[in-house]
Structure formats: structure tokens, C-alpha cells
Structure 1
């Protein structure tokens, strides 16, 4: 099995190399020699860490829908990736504080083909579970791309890659697999009720199936509904989803999100004597939510829910979950992030400690754990600076593509990172030649140096800030009427329906004989796009522009802002004649 996985991975790499060879030597390919990302949020200046503390969220930026599992002293966590490629980031920790990105679970096109997928489609709500009976890790998810639907992949070692997807024979979303201590397995997931039984908009159910571990498939005819609507269907709860099944003692617990992914989001729990139910809701539901507090509270964290629980160091339970940190204008540009809280499970039901009061930016670390998130060895949080000079032959997994592999368009050269442009622009539902980094702070700068001489108006390269294919800014160099120009374009196409609003905010003639430094600087809802031709002094282009279209709660969808190094040979960012 592992030999087949390695062979397929090698073939995929070979195919990507062939694409590179085809593009190598291409004219009009920009070279980016350095990127500096610097975050400087006031909350972290106001709340410096003391000994024995760490920051929450643990994964800043668009890393939503976390799920976690454990093998011995090793913890593995996965999050949603939608149409980003590779798919399903996976992280490792020994202590639930210091996390390292292992890579991605779905890192080959043979596993995940996102070619014409909207950015908020693709891969949703992965679950990860270790099965001690066959020493195997399982990642199960819903993939709205390539006709996949619900799939499962397996590995003996998450550091060494995952197998090809196995398509599962059921509908619905948000599946999770559970292995009982008798060796039996079950899959739970969100689904729609039968049409004749749908009571209201948002009415959903949780189903359970028996799972055949040998055949890796749900067992036909074993499915039935274990939760109808939510905790109290008389109150018309919406979007019961993201279920996780646990066993503690002789009891089974089903934990799910309820209330939708926005301001009414919450986590609820049920109990049963059998994995197949019936399940009774806890009297103290919800066990996690931020929905009851004033919207003008300082350092607001909101939308908390979609959680998973794991026994951590010193046998203390912890729960990971998604939440958002809106800026002062109420925008959600950093997207849905991964948070963590201790869980008190000393009673019958688990309760997130301080999960029903306004969440704080810091937590006390588990006893005996040292915070090394600023050592450079682990995923950073708080305020930090990332410098990428593109001298390594392997990019950090924080860098991602959209709808296709990075390796199809990037090339490491002596001068830096070359992006060989695709014949696709940022507004198309196609793989784009764009290398993305997530926005991780409310206040940040992202600066890069670029060498580039376009041949015509069809060529453009620079920076894009993108929430989705219909909501983005393009800040790049092109050639119009024989002159090199730098332009800033705002694209706003709500839901990719109705009238498009694409506007060239500003343009300036520019000297391309020397490297150009491009910068996006944001402070909350205010974004500025700056440039320098002397390597020292920055000039602004277009003034202060609104980050509204880069916000999840304005542009819609499920992602946060992505900042990209962008090139195209099919430039659509042009002034009207």
C-alpha cells in the first residue's frame, strides 16, 4: 500500500515537473525575491504573554472546522481547505500548544481535482480518527469537487502521506468516523430530512451508519436518524452539523454544532447508552457559544462552535473549535480560525471552561508544557514576522495554490521565485498562477520585491488580496499603449451573480528596469497598496481602500483573505476604453 502511495506521489511530482519544463524560459515571468509578512495586532501588545501562558487562537487565519485525534503522545489536527490546494492542512503537536504543520492530507490531483471549483466549495469539515485496532489513521470529509462527495483516506503514518480517496456511499456533509472499544466502527454525518418531513428552512438531521472496516464502506441499510433538528426541534434549531461521537465510561456522547456558522453558532451535546441511540440532550446546552454578548465588547471573539474534544496532557480534556475575530468595523477578514479551550468532563457532560463567557486572548498552558511558538520551530501565533527569501528548494506548507498544484507554475531560480503565468486570471473558475499566504492579523504588512517586464496588456504580475473569485483587489504591473503601468483594481461581483463591479482605482507609470517593491498594508478595514522603485521610499497608489469585499460576512462564503503573488498572461485588469 505504502509503495503504491509513494509511486503515485512520484508520478504526480513528475507530471508537475513536466509542466515546469514546458513553462521554463517563458517570457514575461515575474521573479519574486523576498516576502516579508508582519503582523502587529494591538490585542497582543496589550496582553503580552507571561510565563505559563499561550495565545488563543492557536491557528490564526483561515484554518476553520478543526478536528483532532491522538496516538500515544502525538496529536494530529486537520482543518478545512475548500478550493485551496493542497487540501486539508494537517498539524502535529506533543502538547496541544506547540504545533507543526506536517503538510496536507490531499496533496495530489489524483486525490482532489478542484479545477473549476468556487473557492468556498471543495473540501469541507474534515474529521481525523486514529484506530488503535489496526494502527491506522482515517481522514473523512466531504469534497464538493470532481464528483467525489463523501470520501475517506487512510495512512499508517501522517508524516509519510495518505492513500487515494475511497468514495463513501451516502449523501450529506460533515462526516466523522468513530471506532468503538469492541472494534466496531460507525460514521455520523449531517443530512437533510426527507422532503415530506422538512419542517423549516435550516432543518437538518444527524444520521449514523455502521461501517465495515475491512471493506471501507458504510453498511447498506444500517443508517437511521439519531438527532432530528437539534436539541429542541420545537424551537426550530438550524443546521445541526459537524457531529463527533465519543465514549466515556459506559456512555456514548454525540457532540454537534448548532445554529449555523454565524452569530448564533454553538456547540451542543447528547448522551446515550448505545452508539446508535437514542440520544438525550444535556440539560445545560449549549456547552460552547459566544452569541449572548454585546457586539461592541473589546477584543471580540464570535461565531464559536464546530468543535472536537481530545484528552490532552495530564489527562486533561481540551476542545478545539472555530471562531472569528471581527475588526472594529465588524468585518471578518482573517476568516474562521482555530481556537482551543480546556474542557471539564468531571461530571456527566463535557463543558468548555469559560466557553459561555467572552473568550480571552490568552490561556494557561497545560502543566509542564513550555510555549515555543515564537522559537521558529512551530506554527506562530500572536504578533510575528515571517520572512521568505525563496532560497529553499521546498516551500513551507503555509504557501498554497488555488484549484491546482503550486508546482505547476512556480520555479525556484538563483534570483528568487519565478511564477510562470497561466492563461487564466484571478476572477476565473480555473487554477490560477498565484502563490497564496493567509492573512493572519487585523493589522499587517505584506511586502515583496519583484522583477518583471510585461510585453503587452495581456501580461500582469504583482499582488492580489482575495476573498473569493468575485471579491478581490489586484495590484500589479502591466503594459498599456507601450508604457509600463502599475494599477490597482477592485473587483466586486456579489455571489458571482448580477452586475459586476470592476473598477481601476488608480494607475501610475512605473520604471521596471529595477526591482519593484510592492506592499499591502492593512489596519482593520483600511487597506493601502504601496510601491517603491528605489528600494527605500514607498508611495501609495489609490489612497485608503475598504477591506469590506475581503470580509467573510460581506463577500459570503467560508474563507478568509488570501494574499497572493500573482501572474497571468490573460490579464483582465484593464481600464475601460
Structure 2
């Protein structure tokens, strides 16, 4: 039997949503405080995916200025109707700030996508759209129950009609669902489907941590009442314990193939070195069938597995992304992100062709700012990163190098700076906002090779003044600080290039000739 390996998107690609157009499949995921927002992927077989671009790739679409870590763009939903793609999502301003729902449209999945259509008066998160057979369009999300919360994080799923031509919500709101089981909290992630005359409401419940789950309800009327499936939750791993290879499974979307098979995409995490999830929440694929009007996920097993039967679709593989980016293109590769919306011309691929130039900014990677940082997701438990940097710090305010980042308060920085008139390469561990230098070597050269290896939770840092002549800077840093289980939040670890002047104005810059990321066995 032909099989595939989960996850289908490794690294921080949470809250997957999928739609089908003929024989083509498109998927989007959440991006929180990172820019561009909402990557969009294309597949022919639901297993092999290639990135087409980002839905929110212009500052006019996405202003993340001052957005706290793990806020910003929450769960996105992608749908296709009458020749138009729709992506709807929630912008979460802050911990207690407003949740603002909006959607954008495009005729082609790679874009360009429109500027946002904001939906005022639509509280809650995880918005979704459903296009009914009669031409009506419905908006769903979660909110606090109008009658009040009966237990902590008690939410309900509600619905309102959307006038798609006018871009506004109309008519009454309907309460659809407020829990499959009493005290299973955080009802969110709703999607509506119509199958064999029933409207099905798919929900994420239990929070996005260890007790995450997928539940479902159905009704003969889209406005309800909805009856819950007696088998709820139809998917969860919370009963498997924290030692299982895949945990916190939930937040799903369903899709029927052109061959009549049904599949579910969902998020999950792979803990390692204990219950630590440095890679964040990843995208998984699991088969499902219908029995007596209800979905059964992975029949006979009921869980997501690392190895699963391949869909009844012709396998279509795409060319893989090169391990090494030589920065020879006119634009940054699709794997790269900024922290918050990029402000100012702080990076360039043209000022020195064949190099990524980062101009030093006063903005700090330890504050809710837009630092001079270009990074990508850590996608593998064992991995290595190498780069070569040309940089000469002119003052003790200036630094540049490699950063492994969970958020502003939890990170490793392997940076070249100055101290007491001497250039030094130092490894800084930032834990809970407190910094300590794990190692520092005097390095008086303008060109420096940098390398990081992660073997499980052991992170190892090296440098060289000549190619491949590696010198150990620090060989057993505790990688668990890059896990949300230590640092908090909802994202996975990033690794990237950074140049900063720590609040001071600087005309200096750092040049990076190439950046290599590889999975290690």
C-alpha cells in the first residue's frame, strides 16, 4: 500500500484550511505577527504542496505595527466560489484588544489579492465563510455567549448572513453551538459544509494545547438547531498522553476529492526532548469516511498517524526548495518573513548583487518593533544552518549575526559586536527577558562564517574565519526556550539574520552572501 508521511507542512503552519477547484487544492495557514501574512499553497494530491506566495503581501493589507508576539493574523479560511477565491481571517490587535474580522479576494490563487473588506460588528476569532446553494453567503466565528460564560473560556459559535456584493453583514445573528461536552472550553475554528441534505458544523474545542479536539454537529436547517455527534470528539489526541509522537491535534477542515474520497487537514505538534514543541503547530492530513450521516476519522484507529495511506490521487511532486539561498534573485524567497510589517528600506538584494544587505535599525528584536530581521521557520527536529557575513561593528551599540527566535523574551543571538574597543562574537541567551552571555570570543575580521546545529533540544554554535574551519563557540545550549511550552504563545521557532543598533541611529550594514538550511539525520 502506498503511503505518505505526516506532517504535510512541517514547522509553524497552524490552522490549515483547504479548498478544491477541479483537480487542484489550495491551502492557507496562520501567521500571527509575521509578514507577509497567510502563505498559500497548491497541491494536486493533498500530500505534496508548493507555495505560490502570500495572501497578505502588501503593507496596505496588513499593518502589524506594535502587534504583540502570537497576536496578529489568526486562523485563516480559504474558499472558492463562482470564479473567485476568498480568504477570511481575524486580526487580533492585542491580548485584550479588538478582534477584527476581514476578508480578501482574488481571481487567481497566487494573487494579486484585494485590500481587506472589514466586517465591523463581528466579534470573535476564526471566521469562516459558507456559500449556500440558494446564493446566500454566511459568516461564522466564535464569541462570548450572550447569556454569559458558564465556565472559563466558554465560547459559542455564531452565524450571520454576509452580503458579498456590499461587503457587510446583514440580518440577525444565530447562536449555533456552545460545546460538545460540558466544560470543554474554547469553542472556535468553525466551518460549515452541506453534505447529503444536512448542514454540518465542524468546530475546534478544548483550546489549542494538549486538550485540543475536533467536534461536529449537524442540522437540516443552516440556522439550526444543531445536534452534536454522539461520537464527539471525532478527533483528538488528548487521551494518548504527552509522550505520544503527535499531540494537541485539532482545528480541522474537510475536503472531498474529485474521486469521492474525504480527507481532513488539521494542526498538531511533534514534541521532543520532553513536552516541548519548538516547531510549533504543523499541518497534518488524515483520511475520513461517512457512516450513518457522520464522519469517522481514520476508521479503526481514530487518530492522526505519522504514516498514512496515500490519497486516491495521482502523486504530483514539485521541485524542492534549494537548501542554500544565494540571494541572487530580484526578490526574497517565499520562505522568508519579517517580524511585523516592514518599515523603511532596511534590506536590499540590489545594493550589492548576490548578497542580502541588512541595514542596522534602532528597532530591537527584544521589543515590539520591526527590527532589521529576515527569518524562516525551523522545520526539523535536527537541522543545521550556515551563513557567511561581512560586517564590522563601529560602536558598542551595533551588532549583526544569527538569531534563533521564539519571541521578544526568549531567543538566542549569535552576534558580532564590540566591547571595550574590541570586536567579539558572543552567544546571548535571552530567557524570560533576562540576558546572559553564554560565550564570547574576540574576532577581529570583517568576514565571518556562522553555523548553528540543532540535535533535538541541544543547540550548538560555531564560527569560522576561513571556510569550513569551524571553531566551537558554545556546544550545548538549552533549546527548550524556543518552545512555546516555556516561552508561551502560539508560534514555532524562527531562525534568521539580524542587524541592529540598539536604539541608536547608524549608517552601518551587514552583508550576507548566502544562507543554508538543511535537515540533519
Tell me, yes or no, whether TM beats 0.5.
yes
Q: Distance between the aligned counterparts of 1:250 and 1:436, measured in 2? A: 47
Q: Kindly indicate whether residue 176 of structure 2 is the aligned counterpart of residue 176 of structure 1.
A: no
Alignment of 1:525-564 (within 5 A): 525-564=457-496
Tell me, in whole angstroms, the C-alpha distance in 2 between the residues paired with 1:292 and 1:355: 16
Q: Which shows bigger deviation, 388-397 or 273-282?
A: 388-397
Say if 2:366 is the partner of 1:366: no
Native 8 Å contact 1:301 1:358 kept in 2: no
Within the candidate set 221, 229, 233, 1:286 is matched to: 233
Does the Cα contact within 8 Å between 1:247 and 1:253 map onto a contact in 2?
yes
Distance 1:506 1:312 in 2: 54
Higher helix share: 1
Match among 362, 381, 387 for residue 448 of structure 1: 387
- 1:437 is displaced (CA, Å) by 0.9
Match of 2:485, SS?
helix
In the alignment, structure 1 residue 338 sits paired with structure 2 residue 305 = no
Q: Pick from 130, 137, 156: which aligns with 2:80?
A: 130
SS in 2 for 1:315: coil
Alpha-carbon separation, structure 1, partners of 2:482 and 2:151? 31
2:255 maps to: 310
- Stretch deviating more after TM superposition (342-351 or 552-561): 342-351
Map of 1:80 onto structure 2: 30
Q: Secondary structure at the match of 2:294?
A: coil
Q: Per the alignment, in what secondary structure is the counterpart of residue 473 of structure 2?
A: strand
Structure 1 residue 273, shift from structure 2 partner: 0.4
CA distance in 1, matches of 2:489, 2:58: 25
Partner of residue 11, structure 1: none
Higher RCO structure (Cα 8 Å, ≥6 apart)? 1
Take 1:332 and 1:73, find their aligned partners in 2: how far apart are those partners? 34
Aligned length: 498
The 8 Å contact of residues 74 and 91 in structure 2, kept in 1 or not, is answered as yes
Could you say which residue in structure 2 is the equivalent of 1:508? 441
Q: Distance in 2 between matches of 1:355 and 1:75?
A: 27
* Aligned with residue 139 of structure 1, among 87, 95, 98: 87
Secondary structure of residue in 2 paired with 1:432: coil
Alignment TM-score, normalising by the size of structure 1: 0.83
| Contact 1:422–1:432, Cα closer than 8 Å, also in 2 | yes
Structure 1 unmatched runs, 5+? 1-50, 380-384, 494-499, 573-577
> Structure 1 stretch 316-325 or stretch 288-297: which is displaced more?
288-297
- Listed as ranges, the matches of 1:93-172 within 5 Å are 93-132=43-82, 135-145=83-93, 149-169=100-120, 170-172=122-124
Give runs of aligned pairs for residues 157-556 of structure 1, distance below 5 A: 157-169=108-120, 170-194=122-146, 197-220=148-171, 222-228=172-178, 230-232=179-181, 235-297=182-244, 300-353=245-298, 357=302, 359-370=304-315, 372=317, 375-376=319-320, 386-405=323-342, 408-412=345-349, 413-493=352-432, 500-513=433-446, 515-556=447-488
* Alpha-carbon distance in 2 for matches of 1:119, 1:322: 20
Work out the CA distance in 1 between the residues paired with 2:192 and 2:443.
Answer: 59
Query: In the TM superposition, what is the alpha-carbon distance from 1:528 to its structure 2 partner?
Result: 1.2
Q: 1:164 to 1:150 in 2, by over 3 A?
A: same
Q: 1:537 to 1:321 in 2, by over 3 A?
A: same
Gaps of 5+ in 2: 505-521
C-alpha RMSD over aligned residues: 1.9
